[in-house]
Amino acid sequence: MNDLGFDRHRRLRRSASMRALVRETHLRTEDLIYPIFVLEEEGQKNEVPSMPGVYQISLDRLAEEMDEVVALGIRAVLLFGIPKVKDAVGSEAYNDEGIIQQATRFIKENYPNVLVVADTCLCEYTDHGHCGVIHDHFVHNDESLPLLVQTAVSQAKAGADIIAPSNMMDGFVAAIRQGLDEAGFENIPIMSYAIKYASAFYGPFRDAVGSTPQFGDRKTYQMDPANRLEAQREAESDIMEGADFLIVKPAMTYLDIIREVRDRFNLPVVAYNVSGEFSMVKAAAQNGWIDEQQIVLEKLTSMKRAGADLIITYFAKDVAKWLQQ
């Protein structure tokens, strides 16, 4: 403190080199997980209308996407499947020849150093768009668990490195952990969607995979956005059941939750920068209202600053390019 009674904080902001020297939070390409929508068709690369630059990609064109992912240094992808046929129990999710199983085998055979994270849910595969078995317009928790276990085991058999269950059924981590262990996959970790809010930010994703519920909503199994303490209970339960990573979804409006999870638990924390967060930035940038690169880097850095170790983001390829620059 000087004679005038104030500190000279600006000394450490005088130049770009000085600011870089004292920077507390760093965003790296290695922090990013890139979601890919794999379509059970042939010769297709269809841009998602509400997600500019994001595509539904058929298996025979997946190499184009993976070549770019590898060239950019992205080390992990999160796979979502879009099957030809959907039914009431999402049977294509646990079909050993299903689209995600085929995509996983393709990636592991041709890009063995890329980690495959398999989304383990039924909503993309059910004709009603919900994440489990339906009785009287209600998702039946315990009847859904065996189907999720079958899905996880099938994905692990195909070569998935990480199982990422996103269904928000009570007990899903315990059931999947037991199922994986009994099938001989005790070394496959679970990246649990431990804290998943019933958010309005998921709309563009549901366009991408056709998973909009045909009746009702998901508020009986996804969390109330107003609740903070419930998030800690959900995370604690998943840890006790055997989770290896904790996902907080969405990320941008739940940075307080990310910070509390980071402070309380010692597992890797994953922020999911969801589709609505992505599309808002893209729309504003296309209208010339914001600087997309600066906004995205600031936003993802805030997730790291809040305590996230990893970030699932549709911006992963863009960010990797910007970081290389």
Residue ranges for the binding site?
121, 123, 131, 206, 218, 234, 275, 314
Could you tell me which residues are annotated as the binding site for Mg(2+)? 234
Q: Which of 45, 108, 249, 321 is catalytic?
A: 249
Could you tell me which residues are annotated as the binding site for 5-aminolevulinate? 206, 218, 275, 314
Could you tell me which residues are annotated as the binding site for Zn(2+)? 121, 123, 131
Residue 39, classed as helix, strand or coil, is strand
Report angle CA 21, 321, 244 to the nearest 5 degrees.
80
Q: Which of 196, 299, 304, 317 is catalytic?
A: 196
Burial (CB < 10 A; 0-12, 13-18, 19+), residue 46, is middle
Closest CA to 90 of 57, 128, 59, 118: 128
Residue 58, classed as helix, strand or coil, is strand
Residue 178, classed as helix, strand or coil, is helix
CA max distance for the chain: 75
Active-site residue, 45 included: no
**Which regions of the chain does DSSP assign to beta strands (E)?**
32-39, 45-47, 55-58, 76-82, 115-120, 133-135, 138-140, 162-165, 191-196, 245-249, 269-273, 310-313
Instruction: Say how far residue 223 (Cα) sits from the centre of its chain.
Output: 16
Tokens for 106, please give them: 């393709």
DSSP 216-263: S-STTTSBPTT-SHHHHHHHHHHHHHT-SEEEEES-GGGHHHHHHHHH
Active site residues: 196, 249
